[in-house]
Amino acid sequence: MNAGIIPYPHSTGNPSRGMSFELGGVNFSYPGTQKTSPALKDVSLTIQAGQLIVIVGSNGSGKSTLIRILSRLYDPTSGTVQIDGRPSEEYIVSDLHEATALLSQDNQLYPLSLHENIGLGYPDKVKDIGLVQQAAEQGGAIEFISKLKDGMSTFLEPIIQPFQINLYRNKTHVLYKEMDALRKNIDISGGERQKVVAARSFMRFQSGKIKFVAVDEPSSALDAESELKLFENLIKVRDGKTLVFVTHRFGHLTKYADQIICMKDGSVCEVGSHEELFNKDGEYPKLYKIQASAFTAQ
């Protein structure tokens, strides 16, 4: 990856409205991949600052890869990416990452309390109980956290291995009871993990540095109602941010979108609003109708 020297945000573009993107003829193959066709093929598109974009398409069509290029986790194999009107490689990569909140299935939780896991989104304010609580609510995590005996203080995945070696056969040892309690880790579900990570993103928003929010398929872990709530809460704080959402669920998301980007086999096959795309004989109405029929079929 090319490391630039220009800080972000920069006076070019209008970062106060969110990050803008312009992709020209982007091709991308994963390093060392066995696949003969690239993950992205000749992708050209424009995302204006502050827009709400929804990316749809069938499995393997390149949605997550596009998000990774926009988030500058990878540079294209060929083609150009402009951010706020400048080649993306001119910027300091860590600055771009600091201005980006990426919410995906890959997100990590740490062996810390739930409070700390959320507060880490904005370390300067980790001790601000009210702010962390608010982020937990916005991420949709507060409901399940309030049902835990220790609430926000619940510790996730404690690392006990190094301490238990001399204890596990000695049940009378004074520390055995402590160790036994620790061993009963709080194991939270995939959807609950996603909500904690979402809460951490809302905490990051408090820093005022986030200009681009990418949400990659929370629906694989979140139920429909939780996804809708997360989406509504993101909409409430979207001011000054560009929001890109990848989803397999159509409806509320796609109807709100300024632009829907529909992908097929690594290429962008259609771009437009729900109304524009729905009335054409293309991939979008096909995917939409397949999904609708799954709910209406007897």
Ligand X SMILES: Nc1ncnc2c1ncn2[C@@H]1O[C@H](COP(=O)(O)OP(=O)(O)OP(=O)(O)O)[C@@H](O)[C@H]1O
Taking CA atoms, 35 is separated from 30, 31, 32, 42, 104, in Å, by 9, 10, 9, 17, 23
Q: Which stretch binds ligand X (CB under 6 A): 62-70, 85-93, 154-162, 287-295?
A: 62-70
Q: Which stretch binds ligand X (CB under 6 A): 41-49, 60-68, 153-161, 175-183?
A: 60-68
Shortest distance, position 248 Cβ to ligand X, whole Å: 7
User: Is 62 one of the binding residues for ligand X (CB under 6 A)?
Assistant: yes
Binding-site residue total for ligand X (CB under 6 A)?
A: 13
Q: What is the largest CA-CA distance in the chain?
A: 73
Strands 40-47 and 86-87, bridge-based pairing: unpaired
User: Is 61 one of the binding residues for ligand X (CB under 6 A)?
Assistant: yes
The count of other CB atoms within 10 Å of the CB of residue 24 is: 14
Shortest distance, position 8 Cβ to ligand X, whole Å: 25
Helices within the chain (DSSP H only) = 63-70, 93-98, 114-119, 129-138, 142-146, 161-164, 174-183, 190-205, 224-236, 252-256, 274-278, 283-296
User: Is 65 one of the binding residues for ligand X (CB under 6 A)?
Assistant: yes
Shortest distance, position 58 Cβ to ligand X, whole Å: 7
Q: Which stretch binds ligand X (CB under 6 A): 54-62, 75-83, 142-150, 173-181?
A: 54-62
The sign one gets for the Cα dihedral 151, 154, 229, 293 is: negative
* Both structure tokens of 50: 């502050």
Contact mark string toward ligand X, 206..225, x via CB under 6 A: -----------x--------
The residue type found at 43 is: V
User: Is 59 one of the binding residues for ligand X (CB under 6 A)?
Assistant: yes
Shortest distance, position 28 Cβ to ligand X, whole Å: 9
- Considering beta carbons, is residue 9 or 62 the nearer one to ligand X? 62
Q: Which stretch binds ligand X (CB under 6 A): 3-11, 59-67, 73-81, 281-289?
A: 59-67
- Considering only residues 8-47, where is the footprint of ligand X by CB under 6 A? 30, 33, 35, 39
- Considering beta carbons, is residue 10 or 248 the nearer one to ligand X? 248
Show contacts of 175-178: CB within 8 Å, 24+ apart: none
Helices within 51-173 (DSSP H only) = 63-70, 93-98, 114-119, 129-138, 142-146, 161-164
User: Is 60 one of the binding residues for ligand X (CB under 6 A)?
Assistant: yes
Shortest distance, position 57 Cβ to ligand X, whole Å: 5
Shortest distance, position 251 Cβ to ligand X, whole Å: 17
Interface pick for ligand X out of 57, 76, 121, 140 (rule CB under 6 A)? 57
Q: In sequence order, which residues have a C-beta less than 8 Å from that of residue 222 and are 6 or more positions away?
A: 140, 191, 194, 195, 230
Residues of the shown chain interacting with ligand X in the complex, contacts defined by CB under 6 A: 30, 33, 35, 39, 57, 59-65, 217
